[in-house]
Amino acid sequence: MFVSVPPVYDTLLDALRRPLRSLRISVTDRCNLRCAYCMPREAFGRDFVFLRHADLLSFEEIVRVARQAIALGVRKIRLSGGEPLLRRGIERLVEMLAGLHDETGRPIELAMTSNGVLLAKKARALKGAGLARLNISLDALDETVFQRICGSDAPLAAVLEGINAAQAAGFAPLKVNAVIKRAVNESEILPLARHFRHTGVILRFIEFMDVGTTNGWRLDDVVSADEILARIDQEFPLYPLAPRHAGEVGKRWQFMDGGGEIGVIASVTQTFCHECDRLRLSTDGKLYTCLFASDGADLRTPLRAGEEDAQLRQRIANVWGGRRDRYSQLRHIASEASARKIEMSYIGG
């Protein structure tokens, strides 16, 4: 399908009339953890073959793609992975992306999602390089549960220090994301809520999703956002907050006693495909239009063949213009489920 590139001040819409607003970039497919719901050790063991360095997009290539995506409407860029802090020189990429502006001269919003293990040493440099927002993933406060769910003997203290360092560096509000899996860490819902109340950290619970093909997902293992909220509300009454903007995936709640904000991302039980505005760039330069896609559009080959910016932009516009994805809305229809879904660590969660 051919879509003419609109002038940069127009809105590029996909086939279901959703605008392109957000770009997620996976900067590495490697990780220092092996979370059971993402990169289970059985599938990502010692002999797993990760991408070679030469296969990764260079920082310059990433920035070229980002520039063209911004010209087509992207206003938010999130660095993810794998674990983004494992990519050598990540602060330099942050600095390069933080310098990008939209056509009105406004800087784009640059964010990162990290497991926090290496953050204590890097938080200040990331802030200094221009990173605006940081989400840290933490699924448990009990060391045994933490190490079981993250499939690693990484110390919980390292993540907690990372969170402190990020707050000290000025990331505010800092978000902490917890994926809840039935019978694995549902016991951590209340301890997490208690721990982060009155700290300025916004804790958000994410429903366990069927990304990739290795995490053994079953609907029975999903603890719904409603159930999570009900459990918290029993101890700490909550009231809902209005969304701040269209396309906000997290539903926001406030502790009635002034303990701060809390959120849920109900990607399984309350799908938000109808306002999904995210494009994803994989570690090796493929564009994906859905977290649950099986095929991506290769940008690395044209980038390395010296394609001009205008052609590159046209290529991205074509991918977005032809987009019809709404996997989460169709999840229950077996024939729509893709058997070849790519892994989250590769596409960038």
Q: Which does 14 bind (CB under 5 to 8 A by kind): ligand SF4, ligand SAM, none?
A: none
Shorter beta-carbon distance to ligand SF4: residue 211 or 317: 211
Q: Which of 93, 345, 346, 347 binds ligand SF4 (CB under 6 A)?
A: 345
Whose Cβ is closer to ligand SF4: residue 95's or residue 277's?
Answer: 277
Binds 68: which of ligand SF4, ligand SAM, none (CB < 5-8 Å by kind): none
- Which positions touch ligand SAM (CB under 6 A)? 31, 37-38, 80-81, 83, 113-115, 137, 177, 179, 206, 208-209, 211, 215, 344-345, 349
Three-state SS sequence of the chain: CCCCCCCCCCCCECCCCCECCEEEEECCCCCCCCCCCCCCCCCCCCCCCCCCHHHCCCHHHHHHHHHHHHHCCCCEEEEECCCHHHCCCHHHHHHHHHCCECCCCCECEEEEEECCCCHHHHHHHHHHHCCCEEEEECCCCCHHHHHHHCCCCCCHHHHHHHHHHHHHHCCCCCEEEEEEECCCCHHHHHHHHHHHCCCCCEEEEEECCCCCCCCCCCHHHECCHHHHHHHHHHHCCEEECCCCCCCCCCEEEEECCCCCEEEEECCCCCCCHHHCCEEEECCCCEEECCCCCCCCEECHHHHHCCCCHHHHHHHHHHHHHCCCCCHHHHCCCHHHCCCCCCCHHHHCC
Q: Which of residues 145-164 bind ligand SF4 (CB under 6 A)?
A: none
Smallest separation, CB 10 to ligand SF4 (Å) = 22
String of contacts with ligand SF4 for each residue 99-138, x by CB under 6 A:
----------------x---------------------x-
Choose among ligand SF4, ligand SAM, none what residue 177 binds, the Cβ cut-off being 5 to 8 Å by kind: ligand SAM
Interface with ligand SF4 in residues 278-297 (CB under 6 A): 278, 290-292
Query: Using CB under 6 A, which residues numbered 1 to 40 contact ligand SF4?
Result: 31, 33-35, 38-39
Position 327 contacts ligand SF4 (CB under 6 A): yes
Say if CB 260 and CB 194 are below 8 A apart: no
Name the binder of 276 from ligand SF4, ligand SAM, none, CB < 5-8 A by kind.
ligand SF4
Q: Which does 209 bind (CB under 5 to 8 A by kind): ligand SF4, ligand SAM, none?
A: ligand SAM
3: left (phi over 0), alpha (psi -120 to 50) or beta: beta
Among 73, 81, 296, 321, binds ligand SF4 (CB under 6 A): 81
Whole-angstrom distance, CA of residue 289 vs CA of residue 22? 11
Which of residues 5 and 344 has its CB atom nearest to ligand SF4 in the complex? 344
> Applying CB under 6 A, which of residues 71, 86, 262, 276 lies at the interface with ligand SF4?
276
Could you list the residues that contact ligand SF4 (CB under 6 A)? 31, 33-35, 38-39, 81-83, 115, 137, 272-273, 276, 278, 290-292, 325-328, 345
